A and B are shown apart, each in its own frame.
Chain A
């Protein structure tokens, strides 16, 4: 079948790691390929001219290759029809969809080869199976990791759940409410956390990090560093005596830094495991090299504090690995114009979650920070006081760090909805306050989300289209400047509290993990799935799965759904004893040979 290969580019830079010139040469040498032409960057194509070209070369099949070639399928279909050829013979060689980002030129070439032979790429590049041991490692103990762990463990299969923080729960544990149902986040998550803590099939390793993963699909050797917690999890009854006597404090990670915790502390009362942890970095005993303090160990009624404990290395073998590392929020200090870090009452979304959370430092009261004199440090400090003044005007700024060529180009997906939730919480707790949402586009995409957005608007929140340009201080008052696009006027408004709806970025350490496992990440740093549409939980590496926001920004329902889907994939291999091998290991010639043999059938 006489075939023409047309290469299209989505942008000038092309796909990272793909040498288009090499792909062209490769395609030209494939059997039946009569013509290879690079159409350039986002070409404007004329179907008549294309039809002439198709006719002139007598093409019977056309392959459109490149990053998102589907954009050009209609024009080629029309050209084929005009040329009198079979319109079904327009084949797509989609580099992005089949993982050429990260897998490089040979992958792009094999995608083109499959299209030229008229064989679906996933069919030709289907890896074989390999014997798999039953254990599963889950990295990350947020809601994705918890859900996947419970699904697998409830099926009676062993799970190792490794979490960096001293407790599982992740970001969801910090939230007050979930959207769009306004359910209490803790009420949903805490029972699951407790179930994980008590499950006989789950080996929970908190305050631990995966140091190394080696081996092959079905047999991964894992080395985990269990950081010295200095508190015996089994013996600790969380009586708080140690914290009471501890002289040192640091800012609380769980409270997003807006409150303090002691050097020996429990992240929050419902933590799992429900045990205290000693943070060496802020502890006076460790700072002084063991000469000072140590009072917690002396006062502990259960004598469960061991100041001499060392980090422990644990090694085990698993058949599958689930990545559920989630996200971090965008660093708002990078956007100077919003004055985060400069104005005390410009806060991030996570900070607001803690302020409005009944278990947070203000007991759920929404207040602004006030200037207080710290007698011990002899400086004036902005502090959160539960009795402090509530804000009269609250502005919520959407898309902070998202959809911005200078920061993150992508939409973080959850910010619109959580911002609307914030507006509801503000209006609910402070009926006198006015609340403004400054948005670019309202992305209420899920079940019940649009209704939620309408409800918030109906409640009396002012929803203003137009991104805020900057926060400034005028005569001691914070002033927000922007444009109200619908009303066609400038906004120049005094505000008391500004909440920045910061976007999501891949969790710290994702790069190391990707290198360790040999899986790809996309341009934005999120882990790449095997196939965007049909294999959203698998990766190029056999037995390695992605769940939740580590693959792309996701809300809680989607995260939970994906985690359960991952569990299904894991259980399939554990139950049959055989899992998929790595697609990454398939060579170009193997895929090409398979495509050729499939084409003959």
Chain B
């Protein structure tokens, strides 16, 4: 098979944040200090080599970037200041844009301005749509729930499911492309169907526990990330299945709201932590911030704050204010979900667990293939 080289690849990656790849002289220090780098997935040095050589297809088929959690040990010990950790992060951004067939993701990563304006546009469109719809169907601005509600829970519920359906469809297509690049396209690799079934448990396991992240020497980023994920999962379940209970008021329904409060504390706490850490560049993980990272965090914190505010306003009986705040809340949430999940930073919620899943399949398929072939040699053979 011919290998096509893209000599501009290393320059293209610059907008994704990888600025120092050319400094690398391949001593292998980074791979050796990385707690995740195990055969057959040796990184970050190997992806950096691909990058220097412009092997775009190889990179596109790499799972390694997703196996890195950016603890930053590699960058700290790099003798050349080549920032392998940041390179892996940039590769994740680049891969996200490659998995996305619409090209929107690419546009977002290439220019923070494009993403910002799209987000603002989507927010305005959301507000306009909901207001128009509420006014046209004769909703009462002074009523939050009940038959005359400005935005009735049942309709929002339908909207939620519709949005979720679109997002899922987009995300699944991207995941399908990811599968094609990493496993499907590889003709040499024999991956029987039962192997996919055998490793299927890995998907929910990694999604819920973030178990691999905990392998890093620094535990705090993992704890923060886990708290964020769990909080979001709680919120997701509440909104997708118990929206009517959440909606009714003004008295607090403790059966659902207690979970809502826990999730809110989790969301707010982790987001503020991440924001502070990025501002202070507290850890290698937070030292380099891409524009997309900022937009993501700002949307998160915006959604959390407006959500809390509308909750309070509704409980204390300011229904009109609560309705307005809710629309503002939607102005944050809809672009956040609609744009970030399929096209930007948030898509890693699907790619990461999938990468663990795929990597386990590929590793086992390789192992089986190797067992059939000859035993490999231990190290460089002397010439003698």
Contact = CB atoms under 8 A, between A and B. Distances in A.
A463 B380 contact: yes
A458 B27 contact: no
Contacts of B28: 465-467, 469, 482-485
Interface residues on A, range: 35 or more
A85 B2 CA distance: 46
A337 B381 CA distance: 27
Given A441-B25, A490-B38, A468 B379 contact: no
B384 A488 contact: no
Interface stretch (B39-47, B116-124, B169-177): B39-47
B384 A458 contact: yes
Interface stretch (B73-81, B205-213, B242-250): B73-81
Contacts of B80: 404-405
A490 B383 contact: no
B190 interface: no
A462 interface: yes
A490 B31 contact: yes
B148 interface: no
B29 interface: yes
Contacts of B42: 483, 488-490
Nearest to B79: A404
Contact of A457 (B27, B32, B383): B383
A464 B29 CA distance: 13
Interface in A540-554: none
A46 to B, nearest CB: 16
A302 B58 CA distance: 79
B368 interface: no
A482 B384 contact: no
Interface in B32-57: 32-33, 37-39, 42, 45-46
A440 interface: yes
A514 interface: no
A440 B381 CA distance: 17
Contacts, number: 91
Contacts of A457: 382-383
B32 A468 contact: yes
Given A404-B79, A459-B384, A483-B42, A436 B27 contact: no
B26 interface: yes
Contact of B45 (A454, A459, A485, A486): A485
Nearest to A481: B32
A486 B78 CA distance: 19
Q: Is the interface of A mostly helix, strand, loop or mixed?
A: mixed
A403 interface: yes
A486 to B, nearest CB: 6
Interface in A449-478: 454, 457-470
B11 to A, nearest CB: 11
Nearest to A466: B28
Contacts of B79: 403-407, 467
Contacts of B381: 462
B380 A486 contact: yes
A406 B27 CA distance: 14
A464 B379 CA distance: 7
Most A CB atoms within 10 A — which of B26, B27, B45?
Answer: B27
B25 A440 contact: yes
A533 interface: no
A119 B290 CA distance: 50
Given A469-B33, A469-B77, A491 B383 contact: no
Q: Is the interface of B mostly helix, strand, loop or mixed?
A: loop
Most A CB atoms within 10 A — which of B29, B38, B39, B81?
Answer: B29
B44 to A, nearest CB: 11
A308 interface: no
Contacts of A487: 377, 379-380
Contacts of A481: 32
A467 B27 contact: yes
Contact of A490 (B27, B39, B382): B39
Interface residues on B, range: 20 to 34
A490 B37 contact: yes
A399 interface: yes
A484 B46 CA distance: 11
Interface in B69-91: 77-81
B64 to A, nearest CB: 12
Contacts of B77: 337, 406, 469
Interface in B144-172: none
A176 to B, nearest CB: 23
A461 to B, nearest CB: 7
Contacts of A460: 382, 384
B284 to A, nearest CB: 14
Contact of A462 (B32, B46, B380): B380
Contacts of B37: 483, 490
Nearest to A439: B27
B27 A440 contact: yes
B350 to A, nearest CB: 29
A465 B80 CA distance: 17
A513 to B, nearest CB: 30
Contact of B26 (A406, A440, A464, A482): A440
Contacts of B380: 462-465, 484, 486-487
Interface in B338-384: 377, 379-384
A470 B33 contact: yes
A488 B383 CA distance: 18
A491 to B, nearest CB: 7
A303 B45 CA distance: 67
A491 B380 CA distance: 11
B379 A470 contact: no
A487 to B, nearest CB: 6
B29 A462 contact: no
A399 B383 contact: no
Contact of A399 (B27, B38, B39, B377): B27
A468 B380 CA distance: 15
Nearest to B27: A467
Contacts of A466: 26-28, 32
A502 to B, nearest CB: 15
A454 B382 CA distance: 10
B81 A405 contact: yes
A229 to B, nearest CB: 44
Most A CB atoms within 10 A — which of B37, B78, B380?
Answer: B380
Contacts of B81: 405
Nearest to A401: B79
B374 to A, nearest CB: 15
A491 B33 contact: no
Contacts of B39: 489-490
Contact of A459 (B32, B379, B382): B382
A483 B31 contact: yes
A467 B28 CA distance: 6
B79 to A, nearest CB: 4
A484 B28 CA distance: 8
Most A CB atoms within 10 A — which of B33, B77, B79?
Answer: B79
A458 B31 contact: no
Interface string B180-203: 000000000000000000000000
A186 to B, nearest CB: 30
A491 B27 CA distance: 13
28 contacts: A337-B33, A403-B25, A404-B80, A405-B81, A407-B79, A440-B27, A441-B25, A458-B382, A461-B382, A462-B379, A463-B380, A464-B379, A466-B26, A466-B28, A467-B27, A467-B28, A467-B29, A469-B33, A469-B77, A470-B32, A483-B28, A483-B31, A483-B45, A484-B380, A486-B380, A487-B380, A488-B46, A490-B42
Interface of B: 25-29, 31-33, 37-39, 42, 45-46, 77-81, 377, 379-384
Q: Which 9 A-B pairs have the closest CB atoms?
A: A469-B32, A483-B28, A404-B79, A466-B28, A467-B27, A483-B31, A460-B382, A440-B27, A482-B32
Given A459-B384, A464-B380, A487-B379, 14 more contacts: A405-B81, A407-B79, A436-B379, A460-B382, A463-B380, A466-B26, A467-B27, A470-B32, A481-B32, A483-B32, A485-B28, A487-B377, A489-B39, A490-B37
